[in-house]
Amino acid sequence: MEPRVRFNARIEGVEYDLLDELIGYAVRRAQLSIYEDFAATMEADEITPQRFSSLVIVENNPGISQSRLAEVMGIARSGVVAIIDGFEKAGLMERRASGDRRSYSLLLTQAGTRLLKRYKRAVKEHDERISAGLTLTEKAQLRRLLSKLGTA
Amino acid sequence: MEPRVRFNARIEGVEYDLLDELIGYAVRRAQLSIYEDFAATMEADEITPQRFSSLVIVENNPGISQSRLAEVMGIARSGVVAIIDGFEKAGLMERRASGDRRSYSLLLTQAGTRLLKRYKRAVKEHDERISAGLTLTEKAQLRRLLSKLGTA
DNA sequence: TATTGTTATACTCTATAACTATA
DNA sequence: TATAGTTATAGAGTATAACAATA
């Protein structure tokens, strides 16, 4: 059997050269490591970072439209359709009529709210685990520095 | 026509709640913004962060095997086959016989070395652009903090 | 027996374009 | 004319499993 593929940020004896100097690669490295822990944490549940974010956004912006959600997530509107379809089928989200008959108001159902509560606890634990090497001050500093990245 | 999908790390008037507190989401946000700039920078070339990394790793670890490269990249061996096929077809990389007849020694061709030189310049510029809001000290700090993330 | 590269296959994510119903 | 949601479709990227050659 094939060993499960795992990302190791730095392999012994391998020269990374320029990659070690790039901020972009440092972020990518961290992101891959974090994703692995997220996936392992939520393995039993059918939830991804993307879907988790969607639930949180809808909970905190009740009545948001699919187009708006697509904008927040940075994906095409067609992608949101599939995500909401899945949530609706699972009974976690509801497409309710909005004033504008072209669009829906997205809302969490009771079951959705309840499940998200559990997800949030798990994700918080995961986040504390992956950032356990940092002090509170360092975490704040890291968030601050990360928020400054990207094309201005 | 559909407006091109772009990721905006923080949309006006949207509540992000927990997401604003998670280190994982901060990294994800940064990663998406960085990727957008990378893609825009390298638009004319058929190169992705993944493929660029492969070229750099092979250049600095000449003779590396596909399995080893897969390990470094954190992807399955089958995925590396397609990547190397593409590079070989483009004349950028060479599969040379190694001592072990089961495996290949990967090497950049002259053309590969030349092209990578250009890519490196472009990627460096991109990296400086996305991190232009940080001082040198802050960049070093960010790299240090990021390297501490992930399951210990 | 184990490892390397390969192929076949499938699944997820995403985009684009065209459609409909509404505005 | 423009916008919201939808569908159809296609292209990456990735994984798993099985295989042949070799160790």
**Average confidence score pLDDT of chain A:** 96
In whole angstroms, give the CA distance from residue A55 to residue B18: 11
Contacts of A74-82 spanning 24+ positions with Cβ under 8 A: A74/B5, A74/B6, A74/B7, A74/B8, A74/B32, A75/A50, A75/B5, A76/B2, A76/B5, A80/A54
User: What structural domains and CATH numbers belong to chain A?
Assistant: 46-129 (1.10.10.10)
Q: Is 80 exceeded by the pLDDT of residue B37?
A: yes
Give me Rg for the CA atoms of chain B: 19
Q: Is 80 exceeded by the pLDDT of residue B53?
A: yes
Instruction: Provide the token pair at B38.
Output: 């990378």
pLDDT of residue B122: 97
Amino acid B67 CA to nucleotide C18 C1' distance, rounded Å: 44
Nearest Cα residue to B33 out of A70, A68, A52, A149: A149
Coil, helix or strand at residue A127: helix
A chain contacts of residue B139, beta-carbon cutoff 8 Å: 23
pLDDT of residue B135: 97
pLDDT of residue A101: 97
Nearest Cα residue to A56 out of B32, B146, B24: B24
Q: DSSP letters along A67-110, please?
A: HHHHHHHTS-HHHHHHHHHHHHHTTSEEEEE-SSTTSEEEEE-H
Terminal Cα-to-Cα distance of chain B (whole angstroms)? 47
Nearest Cα residue to A23 out of B126, B149, B79: B126
Closest nucleotide to residue A7 (Cα to C1')?
Answer: D14
Q: Give tens-digit pLDDT for A30-44.
A: 999 999 999 999 988
Residue A9 contacts B, CB cutoff 8 Å: yes
pLDDT of residue A152: 63
**Average confidence score pLDDT of chain B:** 96
Q: Is 70 exceeded by the pLDDT of residue A46?
A: yes
Q: Give tens-digit pLDDT for A17-30.
A: 999 999 999 999 99
Report the gap between the CA of A95 and the closest CA in chain B (Å): 19
Work out the angle between the directed axes of helices B77-89 and B66-73 (0-180°, nearest 10). Answer: 110
In whole angstroms, give the CA distance from residue B72 to residue B87: 18
State CA A58 to chain mean position distance.
13
B chain contacts of residue A29, beta-carbon cutoff 8 Å: 146-147
Give phi and psi for A35, each to the nearest 5.
-60, -40
Asked if residue A114 keeps its beta carbon closer than 7 A to nucleic acid strand D, the reply is no
Segment A67-75 mean pLDDT: 97
The residues, ordered by sequence, that sit 6+ positions from A31 with a Cβ below 8 Å of its Cβ are: B27, B28, B31
Q: Give tens-digit pLDDT for B95-133.
A: 999 999 999 999 999 999 999 999 999 999 999 999 999
